Amino acid sequence: MNEAKLVACHECDLLQWTAQLPEHGTARCRRCDAVLYRSLPATHDRALALTLPAAVLFAVANCFSIVELWAKGAFVETTLLGTIASLWGDGMWPLAALVFVTTILMPSLNIGAVIYLLLPLRMGRSPYRPALALRVLKHVAPWAMIEVLMLAMLVALVKLEHFATVIPGFGMWAFGSVMVLLAAAGVSFNPADSCACINSFTDSNAASLVSRKTATALTAARTGLFICHDCSLVSKPFADFQGGICPRCGAVLHLRKPHSLARTWAFLSAAMVLYIPAVLLPVMVTSTVFGAKSDTILSGVAFLWTSGSSVLAIVVFIASVVVPMVKILLLTYLAWSTQLRSSVVPRMRARIYRAVELVGRWSMLDIYVITILVALVQFGSLATIDAGPGAIAFGAVVVLTMLAALSFDPRLIWDAVEWESE
């Protein structure tokens, strides 16, 4: 950044001026320690070179089998789409839709949006409405879960190898390559900075309202400014209009998320109710010639532990039992303390919010494991595996807690601090 610009923290709303950073440097908020922006070298070509093969491999991964299974002379293989079709055919359409959205639809939109931004730049042109692609990237990122799917495949392999010969399919290797390529592309490419470079719109009226001496002591809301959470632009609202429209990307702006606490409590309450059946009801039903056996999440962890896969058992226990419960408790604490306008340890509460957002997606692990097992273990009267009602409840808990975290506005934590200091 060659010149200072006005920015507002997405998590505490504090206005600050940008500063020159060393290459690969990170600027953090002076008040809540959230990341404001990063200084990345111009690596658009590298990011495009990584994303294009990721797109090809993602298509390949969905065409080839992810796992091949040999059991008593019978051969079974399945693709990711095949696992989704198996759930749909068994009447588990909520799980099928959830797996499709998080493993196929959202990753496809994520890859497509990156290519849409970078390919025109490579050809020396500016993409049409780049901020729209940036908005897509921001909203689909929490729901694209390729890395969780890969871990689920490994857990499924461990569970299957005790009664059959299991061979990782070409699709699994392709998914692993996609995960690595997208992670490397994400390290070398900052979509927000690219959008700002492509469309250098600035709101001089916004900057003129705040002097350099007072910018670090005021919030955007107190100054009457809006921050766009999609493209990070700080702008002045239209006259006689309570909300706002971002002049750069067209997103609808609000000083705070509308009805943030009410929506957070609604999602949390539903998650609390569903967490009990999610843990107690069977998530998987195994039928053999010797009878039927129902497995809950905890019994699945116990199976991994007794079979010698203690590391995977610990991972699954943390991701499927501890994380959802702790996430509900922490979000309840954040919503309750904010509702009471508490000004106690705001920086710690901001860190709790960031941690909750980071780990919530890993609770999808058990859902993906069940999806793979249901599709593969279909040997007629010998052995079949079906998804149980607990799987639907657990999937709903994961989605509801993620929606609760996305609905919560962390800026409300710091509003209480300012209110007390007045």
pLDDT in tens, 38-91: 776 656 778 888 999 999 999 999 999 988 887 666 777 888 998 899 888 888
Q: Is residue 193 part of a domain?
A: no
Residues 84 and 10 in one domain: no
Please give the Cα distance from 172 to 150 (Å, whole number).
8
Q: Is residue 158 part of a domain?
A: yes
More confident residue, 162 or 346: 346
Report, as an integer, the average pLDDT of 404-414: 91
Spatial CA neighbour of 156 closest among 411, 367, 414, 381: 367
Predicted TM-score of the model (pTM):
0.85
Q: Is residue 197 part of a domain?
A: no
Number of independent structural domains in the chain: 3
Please give the Cα distance from 202 to 27 (Å, whole number).
20
Please give the Cα distance from 308 to 287 (Å, whole number).
24
More confident residue, 202 or 84: 84
pLDDT band at 202 (very low <50, low <70, confident <90, very high): very low
Q: Is residue 364 part of a domain?
A: yes
Residues 33 and 107 in one domain: no
Residues 280 and 369 in one domain: yes
pLDDT band at 26 (very low <50, low <70, confident <90, very high): confident
Q: Which amino acid is at 97?
A: A
More confident residue, 200 or 221: 221
pLDDT value of residue 55: 95
Domain endpoint, select from 188, 210, 231? 188
pLDDT value of residue 396: 93
Residues 55 and 176 in one domain: yes
Written as six digits, the tokens of 3 are 């010149």
Place of tokens 């705001």: 346
Residues 164 and 226 in one domain: no
Please give the Cα distance from 161 to 202 (Å, whole number).
59
More confident residue, 215 or 97: 97
For the chain, the average pLDDT equals 81
Spatial CA neighbour of 152 closest among 367, 391, 379, 313: 367
Q: Is residue 195 part of a domain?
A: no
Domain endpoint, select from 160, 188, 216? 188
Report, as an integer, the average pLDDT of 407-415: 91
Please give the Cα distance from 36 to 86 (Å, whole number).
44
Please give the Cα distance from 260 to 257 (Å, whole number).
5
Residues 356 and 273 in one domain: yes
Residue 15: pLDDT over 80:
yes
Residues 28 and 53 in one domain: no
pLDDT band at 1 (very low <50, low <70, confident <90, very high): very low
Residues 207 and 321 in one domain: no
Task: Give 217: exposed, middle or buried? Use CB within 10 Å, 0-12, 13-18, 19+.
Answer: exposed
| Stretch among 188-202, 212-226, 239-253, 339-353 having the lowest mean pLDDT | 188-202
Report, as an integer, the average pLDDT of 310-331: 86
Q: Is residue 274 part of a domain?
A: yes
pLDDT value of residue 58: 95
pLDDT band at 217 (very low <50, low <70, confident <90, very high): low
Written as six digits, the tokens of 173 are 């290797």
Q: Is residue 196 part of a domain?
A: no
Q: Is residue 1 part of a domain?
A: no
Helix then strand then coil, in percent of the chain rounded to 5, is: 60, 15, 30
Alpha-carbon distances, residue 355 vs 7, 196, 331, 364, 417 (angstroms): 23, 28, 11, 17, 21
Pairing of strands 244-245, 284-288: unpaired
Q: What percent of the chain has pLDDT over 70?
A: 84
Report, as an integer, the average pLDDT of 239-265: 78
Residues 17 and 150 in one domain: no
pLDDT value of residue 196: 52
Residues 144 and 212 in one domain: no
Residues 329 and 274 in one domain: yes
pLDDT value of residue 191: 63
Bridge partners of residue 67, in order along the sequence: 78, 168
Q: What percent of the chain has pLDDT over 90?
A: 26
pLDDT value of residue 195: 56
Range of the domain at 17: 6-39+202-247
Task: Give the SS3 label for residue 295.
Answer: strand
What order do you get walking across the sheet with 383-387 strand by strand?
Answer: 291-295, 284-288, 383-387
| CATH code, domain carrying 314 | 1.20.140
Residues 30 and 61 in one domain: no
Task: Give the SS3 label for residue 401.
Answer: helix
pLDDT value of residue 204: 44
